[in-house]
Amino acid sequence: MTEPIEELSRLCIHTITTKPWSLEEALDQYTARGIRAMSVWQNAIESMGAVKAGERIRQYPMEVVSYVRGGFFPSISLSKRQDAIDDNKKLLEEAAALGAPLLVLVCGADSGQSLAKSRKQIREGIEAILPHAESLGVRLGIEPLHPMYAGARSAINTLEQANDLASFIESDLVGVVVDVYHLWWDMHLKRQILRSGLEDYLFAYHICDWKVPTEDMLNDRGLMGEGCIPLRQIRGWMEEASFDGYHEVEIFSNRYWSMNQAEFLDQIINAYLNHA
Ligand code: ZN
């Protein structure tokens, strides 16, 4: 087994980044390159289930940083809101089985109602699953999404909104996820990152790049250094806020998923070392 390289000690890869690989392939390929942390997406464990996946992962020198992703609380339908709460409780149990200390929340939105109403339902959803999270010891990370997703994917679009929500709920288990793809444009980002740090809300840090032009709203994220996000500056703010967790590479890209994934992973490491 390759010894971890010091420079990669804080590198974490989301399994969705190398979506064509099975969980086993990802574990083999990541660890062979000295990567010691991964965030697990639901689709990667669908076939074997969380318990088996957790057992498999523990056979490797691999830390699970988070389980991705829960949330999607708002709906104009009461029964759908209840289904979302039940789903999230199940996801929390899967996170615990995987050994993931954090469930990442893509909060959701319903275009049939106002953003304010969706935000209220997000808060109610988090409050409803919080006792379950507490009993399992799994944290909840509110991930603000870029405003282009406000129609259907998330009514939480700035770090300020995520901080406000965490502050309102006031639990050690509820914090925020800073994803550069969603937040890089915000003129208040530095101030809000420092605030997250002061409040102990900084649960996770996701990196990639914003390509110009972006050809697909979901699946055209860039490799670090390929776009216009000031990655080193934002990393500096995270460090100033005393964040000492992993740098998680999360790239959805039809272009990269169609190439040889081993070569792509080498490119990720190179981009991480040179640009992140
Ligand atoms: Zn993210």
pLDDT value for 1: 46
pLDDT tens digits for range 254-274 = 999 999 999 999 999 999 999
Contact 192, 158 (CB under 8 A): yes
- With beta carbons less than 8 A apart as the criterion, state whether 109 and 155 touch: yes
Here the CATH number for the domain that contains residue 194 is 3.20.20.150
- Quickly count helices (H) and strands (E) in the chain: 11, 8
Q: pLDDT tens, 135-183?
A: 999 999 999 999 999 999 999 999 999 999 999 999 999 999 999 999 9
* 108 alpha carbon – ligand 1 mean position (Å): 14
User: What token pair was written down for 57?
Assistant: 């992962």
| Centroid of ligand 1 to alpha carbon of 178 (angstroms) | 7
The DSSP symbol for 226 reads: S
Cα separation, 208 vs 221, in Å, equals 7
- Asked, for residue 1, whether it belongs to a domain, the answer is no
**How far, in Å, is the centroid of ligand 1 from the Cα of 37?**
15
Report pLDDT digits (tens) over 87-140: 999 999 999 999 999 999 999 999 999 999 999 999 999 999 999 999 999 999
Centre of ligand 1 from the C-alpha of residue 130, in Å: 21
How many domains are there within the chain?
1
Looking at residue 6, its pLDDT comes to 77
Q: Answer yes or no: is 251 within a domain.
A: yes
**Does 250 reside within a domain?**
yes
34 occurs within a structural domain: yes
Flag whether pLDDT at 4 surpasses 80: no
Structural domain harbouring 33: 6-275
Residue 214 lies in a domain: yes
The dihedrals phi and psi of 62, each to the nearest 5 degrees, come to: -140, 130
In percent, the amount of the chain with pLDDT more than 90 equals: 98
Residue 5: both structure tokens together = 């390289």
